[in-house]
Structure 1
Amino acid sequence: MPLRVTFLGTAGAIPTTARNPSSVFVAREGEGLLFDAGEGTQRQMMRFGTGFSISNLFVTHLHGDHVLGIPGLLQTMAFNDRDAPLAIHTPRGTRTQLKSLVNALGNRPSFPVRINEVGGGDVPYRAEEYQVRAFDTDHDTRSVGYALVEDDRKGRFDRECAEELGVPVGPKFSRLHKGEAVELEDGTVVDPDQVVGDPRPGRSIVYTGDTRPAQATIEVAEEPDLLIHDATFADDRADRATDTAHSTARQAAEIANRAGADRLALMHLSSRYAGHTADHEEQAREAFAGDPADAFVPDDGQGLEIPYPDGE
Structure 2
Amino acid sequence: MTLRVTFLGTGGAVPTTERNPSSILVNREGDRHLFDCGEGTQRQLMHFGAGFDVGHIFVTHLHGDHVYGLPGLLETLDFNDRETALTIHVPPGTKSDVRKFLGALGGTPSFPLRLSTVQPESVVLRREEYEIRSFDVDHHTTAVGYALIEDDRKGRFDRDRAEELGVPVGPAFSQLHDGQAVELDDGRTIEPEQVVGEPRPGRTLVYTGDTRPQDRTVEIADGADLLIHDATFADDRAGRARKTGHSTAREAGEIAARADVRKLALTHISSRYAHDVAGHETEARAAFEGEAFVPDDGDVVDLPFPDATEH
Which category of TM-score, normalised to the shorter sequence, fits these structures? over 0.9
Q: Distance in 2 between matches of 1:221 and 1:231?
A: 16
Count how many residue pairs are aligned between Structure 1 and Structure 2: 309
Match for 1:303 among 292, 300, 304?
A: 300
Q: CA offsets per residue over residues 179-236 of structure 1, 9 Å max, x none?
A: 0111111111101000000000000100000000011111124310000000000000
The equivalent of 1:124 in structure 2 is 124
User: Retained in 2: the 8 A contact 1:125–1:131?
Assistant: yes
Cα distance, 1:32 vs structure 2 = 0.5
Task: Give the 3-state SS of the residue equivalent to 2:55 in structure 1.
Answer: strand
Partner amino acid, structure 1, of 2:186? D
Give 5+ residue unaligned stretches, structure 2. Answer: none
Q: CA deviation at 1:311?
A: 1.1
Partner Cα separation in structure 2 for residue 116 and residue 214 of structure 1 = 25
2:74/2:106 contact within 8 Å kept: no
> Does 2:157 match 1:157?
yes
Equivalent AA in structure 2 for residue 198 of structure 1: E
**Pair 174,205 (structure 1): closer, same or farther in 2 beyond 3 Å:** same
1:250 maps to 2:234: no
Deviation at 1:107, TM superposition (A): 2.3
Shift of 1:106: 5.4
Maintained 8 Å contact 1:103/1:109:
no
The residue aligned with 2:262 is 262
State the 1:64 CA deviation: 0.2
Which secondary structure does the structure 2 equivalent of 1:149 belong to?
strand
In 2: Cα distance, 1:256 partner to 1:46 partner: 32
Report the counterpart of residue 172 of structure 2 in structure 1.
172
Q: Does 1:5 align with 2:21?
A: no
State how far apart, in whole Å, the 1-side matches of 2:253 and 2:104 are. Answer: 38
Query: 1:228-271, CA deviations, whole angstroms, 9 ceiling, x for partnerless residues?
Result: 00000000000110000000000000001111110000000110
**Structure 1 letter corresponding to 2:298:** G
Residue 51 (structure 1) aligned with residue 51 (structure 2)? yes
Q: Which residue does 1:74 correspond to in 2?
A: 74
Q: Given that residues 133 and 220 in structure 1 are in contact (C-alpha distance below 8 angstroms), is that contact kept between their aligned partners in structure 2?
A: no
What is the aligned-residue identity percentage? Answer: 63
Q: Secondary structure at the match of 1:105?
A: helix
Question: What secondary structure sits across from 1:72 in the alignment?
Answer: helix
Aligned 8 A contact 2:72 2:106 in 1: no
* Paired AA for residue 131 in structure 2: Q
Which aligned segments of 4 or more residues in structure 1 are displaced greater than 4 angstroms? none
SS of equivalent to 1:46: helix
Q: Secondary structure at the match of 1:124?
A: strand
Question: Alignment partner of 1:24: what SS?
Answer: strand
Partner Cα separation in structure 2 for residue 243 and residue 256 of structure 1 = 22
Alpha-carbon distance in structure 1 between the residues aligned to 2:57 and 2:32: 9
**2:77 aligned counterpart, secondary structure:** helix
Distance (whole Å) between structure 2 residues aligned to residue 286 and residue 221 of structure 1:
20
Query: Whole-Å Cα distance in 2 between the matches of residues 229 and 121 of structure 1?
Result: 18
Opposite residue 305 of structure 2, the aligned amino acid is Y
2 CA distance for matches of 1:106 and 1:88? 14
Say whether 1:236 aligns with 2:236.
yes
Query: Please, what is the CA RMSD of the aligned residues?
Result: 0.9
The separation in 2 between residues aligned to 1:125 and 1:31, in whole angstroms, is: 12
2:188 maps to 188
Verify: 1:199 aligned to 2:196, yes or no: no
| Residue in structure 2 matched with residue 97 of structure 1 by the alignment | 97
**More moved, 121-130 vs 101-110:** 101-110
- Equivalent residue for 1:107? 107
The CA distance in 1 between the partners of 2:247 and 2:22, in whole Å, is 15
CA distance in 1, matches of 2:195, 2:26: 35
